A and B are shown apart, each in its own frame.
Chain A
Amino acid sequence: MKKTYSRILQISGDVVTVEAEGVGYRELAEIYIKTGKSLAQVIRMSGQKVYLQVFAGSRGVSTGDKVRFLNHPMRISCSENLLGRIFNGAGLPRDNGPALTENLIDIGGPPVNPAKRIIPRKMIRTGIPMIDVFNSLVESQKLPIFSVPGEPYNELLARIAMQTEVDMIILGGMGLKYDDYLFFRNTLEEHGALSRAIFFVHTASDPTVECLLVPDMALAVAEQFALKGKRVLVLLTDMTNFADSLKEISITMEQIPSNRGYPGDLYSQLAARYEKAVDFDTAGSITILAVTTMPGDDVTHPVPDNTGYITEGQFYLRNATIEPFGSLSRLKQQVNDKTRKDHRTIMDTMTQLFAQYRETLEKMAMGFRMSEWDAKLLKYGKAFEEKMMSLTADIPLEKALDLGWQIMAESFEPAETGIKSILIEEFWPKNNNQKK
C-alpha cells in the first residue's frame, strides 16, 4: 500500500519534514516537485514527523507537494547488464541506455563476519612499478591515495582501471568535475576497458545528497559480483567530497560537529564503506583504491586522518609521482615473497639508495662539494625517477625488477649496493659497460 501525503511541515537545507504514518526508517519516498520528481530517504522519525533527505535537493519544493513512500530502502539493479553502463548518484542512467529494474538489491548491506575473513594472499598487478615493486597492492586491500588537489590522481586511477589485472572495475565518482567524468569515460572507452567497468558518477553540479549514495551503490554492486566469484576493483574519487557532503547534511540536521565541522561519526561512516573490502574464501574479492584529497597538504586534517586509521596503508601522490617515502602498503609482506626471489631485495635496496640520493640533493642545494659517490647517486636517482617513478608506465612486475637491476648496474658496482652475492650472481646484468 503506497500512501501519498501532502503535508510538508518544514524545509531546511535538503531535508524536508512531512507528517506520515507507517513509514520504515531509511525507506525511500518520491516527492513530486513542479519540475519533476525526486527520490528522498527517511533519515529521522519523531512521532508523526518524518524527516526526508531529498536527493535532488530541496530547491523548488513546495509545502503543498505530494510525497509518496515506496516501502523499501534504496535499491539498485544488479546484473551483468550493468557492465559498460554509467549511472548517477541516484542510480539512474547517465548514459543513454535504458533504466534497469531487474534483480534489485539493497545498498549498504550488513557487514561481513570477521570470522569468515581470510588473511589476504593474492597480489594485484597494476603494471605500475611504484605500486607492484615497492608497495604491492593485495586483493581485499583498502588503500587511499592521499593527494593535494591538482595532482593527476584521476589520471592515475584511469591508468589503474585500464591495466590492472582484475575481472572488473567499478568507479565511484563523487563531486567529480564534469571534465574529469568525460575523461574517465573517454579514456576507458578508447582502451576498450569500458566493457568491464561500471560507473557511478556524481558530478560537482549534482545534488549533494546523491554524493553520499555513490560509494554505497558501487560497493553493493561490487559485493554481488564478488560473491559470484569476480575479482572486483573499486575506485573511488574523491572521498573528501564524500566526507564534505556528510558534513553538510549533518550540519543541516543540527548535529553537533566534532572536529572542523565534521560529524562525530565520520570514522564509522568511512569505515563502513572501506571495510566492504574483502576476500571471500570461496568466491571473489573486493579491493578499494580511494582518492582522498588533503586540504592544504595536511595529513592531520580529519578526513585523511580518519582514513589512515581505517585503511591498510596509503599512497602519497606528490609531483605527479607516487612518493616512495611515506607511501606504504601494509599488506605487501603477504605477497612480495612469493613473486620473485629478488623482489624484496630490489624493493629495499632501491629505496635505501633513493633515500641517499635525496640526501645528496639536499647537500647539493646547500652548496656542498659533491663526492664521486654523490655523482653515482645523482645518476642513479635521475634514472630511478625517470624510469621507475613514471606513472605512465605499464610494465609487468618481472620486467620492472629487471629494470631495477639495470638502473643500479648503470650507476654502481655490485658491491656498492650491499646486495647478497647470490642474488648479484644471478641477476646483476652481465655485459654492462659501466660508465664512470
Chain B
Amino acid sequence: MINSRYGKIAGINGNMIVAEFDDYVIQNEVAYVIHNEERLKSEVIRVRGNNAELQVYEDTSSLRIGEKVEFSGELLSVELGPGLLGQIFDGLQNPLPQLAEKFGFFLKRGEYLEALPDKSKWKFTPTVKKDDKVKAGDKLGFVDEGIFKHWIMVPFSLQGELEIVSIADVGTYALKDTIARLKDANGQIHSAAMQQIWPVKIPITAYAEKLKPLEPLTTKIRLIDSFFPVARGGTYCIPGPFGSGKTVLQQLISKHAEIDIVIIAACGERAGEVVETLRTFPEIIDTKTNKPLMERTVIICNTSSMPVAARESSVYTAVTIAEYYRQMGLNVLLLADSTSRWAQAMREMSGRLEEIPGEEAFPAYLETRIASFYERAGIVKLRDGSFGSVTIGGTVSPAGGNFEEPVTQSTLKVVGAFHGLSRDRSNARKYPAIDPLESWSKYRSVVDEAQIIKGKQILKKANEIYQMMKVIGEEGTSLEDFTVYMKGEFIDSVYLQQNAFDEVDAATDAERQRYVFNIIYEVINTQLDFKDKTESRKSFQVLIQKFHEWNSLEMQSEDFNKKEKEIKDIVAGKAKQKQNNEKDL
C-alpha cells in the first residue's frame, strides 16, 4: 500500500492496545497489529495525543510492546455483491465454512478470507446504456443470484449525477471486473464493478426518500400480527429472561415471515443455536419459493466464545448487508440475537478505555448507539419508484429477567413494537411466551383494530378477575365475571397460543387471522347464558377443544367448514336472546 502509516504498541490491556504514532490516524480506521507472521485486525476507537487506542478483533496473547501497527486508512467495511446469500460469516465477514475447510476445527487468529471470492463469475445483463445519466444506487444491470434478480448498482460512494461512459455487454464477469465507467460532474472517470465496499458503521442512503412504515409484516404468529404487529421497515424488540424462548421465536419468524431475505445476526449467543439454524435451514424448503430457506438467508455469527470486539461489529455487518439488499427493492428482515451481548461488548471496551460509566457500568453513549442502530431500519422509496425495506427485530437478554435495566429501557425508547416474554408463560408451556398484557405495538394490525381493542379489553379484565379470584376464590366471583374470565382464557388458549409443532397451526397467514378473529370477536361479544360456573367452564372447554382442532385444519377444506359450523352452533346455543347480542359486557 502506498500511504501506509505505522505505529508501535505502547500498551496492552485485554483486547485494547495503545499504539504510538508519528504521522496521523483516522478515528475508526482499521489497523493491523503485526506479530511475527500474524496480522491482527483492529480499529482505532480513541486518539489521545500521539497515542491511538485500538480495539483488537482477536485474542491479544503474546503481543509485545514495540511491535508494529499498520494503519490502513480505511474504515471497517464489508464486501457487497452477488454471492452473499446462503453464506455464513463471522462478525468481520469472514466466511466460516471456508475458514473451517482451511484451518479445521478451530478459528485461527489473524486469518481473514475474502467474503466474496474475487474469482467467482456471474452472468451480467446491463439495463442502462452509454450516455445514460445515473446517480449512486441506481441500477446498472443484474445477475441472477438464486431466486433473486441481484441488481448491480452505481457505487453508493459516488456523488452527484454521473454519465455512463461505457457499460459491459451481456456476459460473464468476475466480481472485480469493471462493468461500467462513469463520468462525474468534474469530468472524472470512476469505474464500477459488481462488487462494492461499504463501511459498516455508515448507513447506505442512496434512495429517494424514507417513508413511514405502515404496511404490516406478516410473521404468521397470531399474537404478533393481530395484537402486537410489526410493520415492514419497522423495528421491534423481544426482551426475555433465559429460557423464555427468545431464540426459538426468532427462528420461527425467520422461517415463516413474509419477507424476501432474512439476515440472522447471532451476536454473542450460544454456538449450539446457530448450529441448529446452520444445519436445518439448508434442508427446510421454503413454501413460497420451493427452494431451501438457506438460499434467502445470510447468517452473521459471532458466538459468545468468539472475540468480543468482533461481536460489536457483527450487528453492523448484518445491517449493512440488509441495507444493500434493500437497495434492490427487496424486503429484508434482520434478526439480531442478542443486542444485550452487543451492548456488553461496548461495556467491556468502555471499561478498558476507563470511561466514566453510566448505569450498570454501561457507557453513557449506549442509548445513542442503540438508537442509531435501530434507525437503520426503514422502508424507502428508491429512485426508480420501487420500494425496499429493512425491518429490525432484536432480542434483549436483561440481567435477572428484569426489564428495568439500561439495554431494555434504551431499546424500548426507539422501537415500534415490544414483545415482552414472560417466564410464567414459558413455564406454563404457552407458546409464544409473549406477555399480552405488557407488550405493545405502534403499528397497524392485520385484523380490524376495533376488534383487537375489544380483545385486549377482555384479556385485561379477565386478568383482573383472575387476580381477584385468587383472593376471594371462585365461590365469591359472580357468574358474569367468571364468564368474562373464561372468555379471556379462551382468547389466550385458541388464538394467542400456537402449536409450533402442528403444520397448519404453526403459521397463520393474515387472511386466516382476519377470518378466525371475526369468529372470536363474535364469541366474546355475545352475551352467553349459563346456569352456573360449572356449565360456563364446561362449555368453554368444549369450545376451546373444537377451536384447537379447527386451528389445525387447512383453511377452506371441508373439515374446516364443518368444524366452523360446530363452533358457531355451540355459541348460538348458549347465546341470550338475539336483541342482547350487541350489548357490551
Residues of A within 8 A of B (CB): 21-27, 44-48, 73, 108-120, 140, 227, 255-259, 263-265, 267-268, 271-272, 275-276, 280, 300-302, 305-306, 308-310, 312-313, 326, 328, 330-331
With contacts A113-B106, A114-B278, A272-B305 known, is A26 near B401, CB below 8 A? no
Q: Is the CB of A264 within 8 A of B361?
A: yes
Given contacts A119-B276, A227-B105, 4 further A-B contacts (CB under 8 A): A117-B271, A119-B275, A258-B361, A310-B304
Q: Is the CB of A114 within 8 A of B303?
A: yes
Asked whether any CB of chain A lies closer than 8 Å to the CB of B243, the reply is yes
Task: Report chain B residues within 8 Å CB of A263.
Answer: 351
For the complex, give the distance between the alpha carbons of A44 and B17 in Å: 10
For the complex, give the distance between the alpha carbons of A318 and B9 in Å: 52
With contacts A256-B361, A308-B243 known, is A113 near B62, CB below 8 A? no
Asked whether any CB of chain A lies closer than 8 Å to the CB of B193, the reply is no
Q: Is the CB of A267 within 8 A of B61?
A: no
Asked whether any CB of chain A lies closer than 8 Å to the CB of B11, the reply is yes
With contacts A114-B278, A117-B272 known, is A265 near B308, CB below 8 A? yes
Q: Is the CB of A116 within 8 A of B348?
A: no
Asked whether any CB of chain A lies closer than 8 Å to the CB of B301, the reply is yes
* B302-341 interface with A by 8 A CB criterion: 303-306, 308, 341
Q: Is the CB of A275 within 8 A of B399?
A: no
Q: Is the CB of A110 within 8 A of B106?
A: yes
With contacts A113-B99, A259-B360 known, is A45 near B62, CB below 8 A? no
Partner of B275, one of A27, A46, A114, A302: A114
Partner of A267, one of B344, B351, B360: B344
For the complex, give the distance between the alpha carbons of A276 and B107 in Å: 13
For the complex, give the distance between the alpha carbons of A314 and B344 in Å: 23
With contacts A110-B109, A268-B344, A280-B105 known, is A47 near B276, CB below 8 A? no
Q: Is the CB of A268 within 8 A of B107?
A: no
For the complex, give the distance between the alpha carbons of A212 and B106 in Å: 23
Partner of B351, one of A118, A255, A275: A255
Asked whether any CB of chain A lies closer than 8 Å to the CB of B568, the reply is no
Partner of A309, one of B100, B271, B279, B397: B397
For the complex, give the distance between the alpha carbons of A139 and B113 in Å: 32
Task: Report chain B residues within 8 Å CB of A258.
Answer: 347, 351, 357, 360-362
- Our count of residue pairs bridging A and B at CB distance below 8 angstroms stands at 167
For the complex, give the distance between the alpha carbons of A32 and B6 in Å: 38
Task: Report chain A residues within 8 Å CB of B347.
Answer: 258, 264
Residue of B nearest to A227 (CB): B105
* B280-312 interface with A by 8 A CB criterion: 280, 301, 303-306, 308
Q: Is the CB of A312 within 8 A of B272?
A: yes
Instruction: Give the Cβ gap from B41 to chain A, nearest Cβ, in Å.
Output: 15
Asked whether any CB of chain A lies closer than 8 Å to the CB of B576, the reply is no
Task: Report chain B residues within 8 Å CB of A21.
Answer: 65
Q: Is the CB of A111 within 8 A of B305?
A: yes
Can you offer 21 A-B residue contacts whose CB atoms are under 8 A?
A21-B65, A23-B64, A111-B107, A111-B303, A112-B107, A112-B305, A113-B99, A115-B278, A118-B275, A140-B272, A227-B105, A257-B361, A263-B351, A264-B344, A272-B305, A275-B271, A280-B105, A300-B399, A305-B399, A310-B270, A313-B243
Q: Is the CB of A109 within 8 A of B106?
A: yes
Asked whether any CB of chain A lies closer than 8 Å to the CB of B104, the reply is yes
Partner of B301, one of A114, A118, A267, A280: A114
Task: Report chain A residues within 8 Å CB of B476.
Answer: none
Asked whether any CB of chain A lies closer than 8 Å to the CB of B400, the reply is yes
Q: Is the CB of A256 within 8 A of B351?
A: yes
Task: Report chain A residues within 8 Å CB of B350.
Answer: 264
* B251-293 interface with A by 8 A CB criterion: 268, 270-272, 274-276, 278-280
Partner of B11, one of A45, A275, A302, A309: A45
Q: Is the CB of B272 within 8 A of A25?
A: no
Asked whether any CB of chain A lies closer than 8 Å to the CB of B555, the reply is no
Task: Report chain B residues within 8 Å CB of A272.
Answer: 304-305
For the complex, give the distance between the alpha carbons of A113 and B12 in Å: 26
Task: Report chain A residues within 8 Å CB of B62.
Answer: 24-27, 73
Partner of B306, one of A109, A111, A255, A309: A111
Task: Report chain A residues within 8 Å CB of B341.
Answer: 267
Q: Is the CB of A118 within 8 A of B348?
A: no
Instruction: Give the Cβ gap from B328 to chain A, nearest Cβ, in Å.
Output: 27
Q: Is the CB of A116 within 8 A of B243?
A: no
With contacts A44-B13, A45-B12, A271-B304 known, is A24 near B64, CB below 8 A? yes
Residue of A nearest to B348 (CB): A265
For the complex, give the distance between the alpha carbons of A280 and B304 in Å: 18
For the complex, give the distance between the alpha carbons of A281 and B272 in Å: 14
Task: Report chain B residues within 8 Å CB of A267.
Answer: 268, 304, 341, 344
Task: Report chain B residues within 8 Å CB of A308.
Answer: 241-243
Contact with A along B102-140 (1 / 0, CB 8 A): 011111110000000000000000000000000000000
Instruction: Give the Cβ gap from A352 to chain B, nearest Cβ, in Å.
Output: 11
From A25, A111, A255, residue with most partner B Cβ within 10 Å: A25
For the complex, give the distance between the alpha carbons of A111 and B14 in Å: 17
Task: Report chain B residues within 8 Å CB of A302.
Answer: 399-400
